[in-house]
Homo-oligomer: A and B are copies of this chain.
Amino acid sequence: MNGAEALLRSLVSSEVSTCFANPGTSEMQFVAALDRVPEMRAVLTLFEGVATGAADGYARMAGKPAATLLHLGPGFANGIANLHNARRAHSPIVNVVGDHATYHQRFDTRLQSDLSGLARTVSAWQRSTTRAEDVGADAAEAVAASYGPPGSISTLIVPADVSWNDGGVPAPPQAPPLRPVVPPETVEGVAKLLRSGERAALLIGGDAMRERGLVAAARIAHATNVKLLCETFPARHERGGSLPEIEKLAYYGEMATAQMAGIQRLVLAGARAPASFFAYPGKPSDLVPEGATVHLLAGVGHDVSAALDALADAVGARADPPRPRANRPDRPTGPLTTESMAAAVGHLLPEDAIVVDESITSGLSVPAATAGGPRHDWLALAGGSIGQGLPAATGAAVAAPGRRVLSLEADGSAMYTLQALWTQAREGLDVTTVLLANRSYTILQFELARVGVSGTGARATAMLDLTRPDLDFVSLASGMGVPAQRATTADELAALLERGFAQDGPMLIEAMLG
């Protein structure tokens, strides 16, 4: 058995059975081995950023890593932005990157680059295998390492001769490690603090954004009057149905400061101490309220939900918190605005949908419009690097067949990794994309003012403008095999959403926001 086959068999035996691939010459043995290892599903992408973003979306929904298959240093580089996002989401990913044959590297040929240096920037675990005999075990170690906790990026560099040489040995399965449990003293300490009467806030994130953590947090808030907040960009937030609602920490610092005004104790559970996303002149970066002390209940690597359960019991919370009632917006009519768009989404969101949110400024009203809707998952842009939404929607759909993916995508952001649409069409994925067309980098118009610029001239304004020429997303999607329609009113959007949610396979709706 050659190295490539041993690698594939080792991945599959550790339940890494999906690979988002953009291969080149140095990965041809891996490609050939796909026919001998049919348990591995290989999903072709046209660009590496699609592969890595899809692996992120997949990991968030499957709770286990996908592999990516990337070509040399430049191919890996094309995947880094979405690996950055995955790293911030704590998504486990196993990158398999082909390299030049071991004996070939000294020639420093055209496609050679500092692959190890690139891998180091985003990988918690990396290795360059040098023998076919080792590649199976190395793959298993890569999988194990990717679980962390918390989840992280593993990068296995496989020289071409390691793939084609005989002597490969498939590795036995690797079980995911258990998350460490928070010690009872820590829980008791926080419980004491919440009972002290001082004004406290509980900021949750990471795994606590799933049902168990949310219910526990709501119990705690109900029993103690602690102010409950969650991180701004959760990797996976279970919402809707009978799940407790939770207030998100605002993106802009001054709003976050207002949310936490008067807080003396800030307790963190799976979230980090709050800081401004960007720095702005004369505004603080540190958002911990002045004079407040910070207390760590559980780090992102802990079993955060179990810690919250224990805390709820320790503060004597009743078993079940009050649950919200279903509350959907009416079906909107009239002009298509960010508000009527949000209402249409809230009115029609299917049961068990997965919402992938890269709507930036255009989608600000959607969270409120969907909070009282049916149960769904919400995947946010955890690393802040745009170009993640369409790929993540693709990967989420691969991970969760039978569930509808709603991809809320801003026009400027869509253009980074639009190639994801082709993979959606190729795989027949149930992804409905609402392309929010405001034809500008609107967020940068806000940011320009916030960094202290006044009286912007024509040349600066042109850098934030996406007209000249207009992007036509109906043409762009059609060109990649995804059926597409344009909505210019709220009524049209609602009708198209109904159609998109009902039909098999992908569809794109270009929502022309007024």
- List the interface of chain A (C-beta within 8 A of B): 21, 23-26, 28-29, 31-32, 34-35, 38, 42, 44, 46-47, 49, 72-75, 77-78, 80-81, 84-85, 88, 100-101, 103-104, 107, 109-111, 113-114, 117-118, 120-122, 160-161, 164, 233, 275-279, 281, 285-286, 382-385, 387, 412, 415-416, 418-419, 422, 425-426, 443-444, 447-448, 450-453, 456-460, 462-465, 468-476, 478-481
Contacts and interface: CB of A to CB of B under 8 A. Distances in A.
Contacts of A281: 161, 164
B120 A114 contact: yes
A448 B30 CA distance: 10
B160 A109 contact: no
A482 to B, nearest CB: 8
Given A47-B415, A77-B80, A426-B468, A161 B279 contact: yes
16 contacts: A25-B278, A28-B447, A34-B460, A42-B459, A44-B465, A74-B385, A78-B387, A100-B279, A104-B275, A111-B277, A111-B384, A117-B117, A160-B278, A160-B451, A472-B481, A475-B478
A458 B35 contact: yes
Contacts of A382: 110
A300 to B, nearest CB: 13
A286 B385 CA distance: 42
Nearest to A482: B469
A479 B472 contact: yes
A480 B414 CA distance: 13
B84 A81 contact: no
Q: Which 8 A-B pairs have the closest CB atoms?
A: A469-B481, A35-B457, A475-B479, A101-B279, A476-B479, A77-B80, A74-B385, A104-B279
A418 to B, nearest CB: 8
A110 B451 contact: no
Contacts of A28: 444, 447-448, 451, 453
Contacts of A462: 42, 44
Contacts of A26: 278
A46 B415 contact: yes
A472 B477 CA distance: 10
A385 B47 CA distance: 12
A80 B118 contact: yes
A385 B111 contact: yes
A324 B161 CA distance: 45
A457 B34 CA distance: 8
Contacts of A456: 32, 35
Contacts of A453: 28-29, 32
A459 B44 CA distance: 11
A164 B444 contact: no
Given A117-B121, A470-B481, A460 B111 contact: no
A120 B120 CA distance: 12
Contacts of A29: 451-453
B463 A44 contact: yes
A42 B113 contact: no
A100 B74 CA distance: 25
B74 A25 contact: no
A301 to B, nearest CB: 16
A101 B285 contact: yes
Nearest to A426: B468
A104 B42 CA distance: 41
A109 B479 contact: no
A34 B456 CA distance: 10
A32 B448 contact: yes
Contacts of A77: 77, 80-81, 84, 121
Nearest to A233: B110
Contacts of A73: 84, 121
B25 A460 contact: no
A357 to B, nearest CB: 14
A388 B104 CA distance: 24
B233 A463 contact: no
A512 to B, nearest CB: 15
A77 B78 CA distance: 7
B78 A416 contact: yes
Q: Looking at A458, A474, A479, which has the most chain B CB atoms within 10 Å of its CB?
A: A479
A80 B277 CA distance: 25
A164 B44 contact: no
Given A35-B456, A77-B80, 14 more contacts: A25-B443, A31-B460, A46-B415, A74-B81, A77-B77, A103-B279, A110-B382, A111-B384, A114-B120, A118-B121, A164-B281, A418-B418, A425-B469, A479-B479
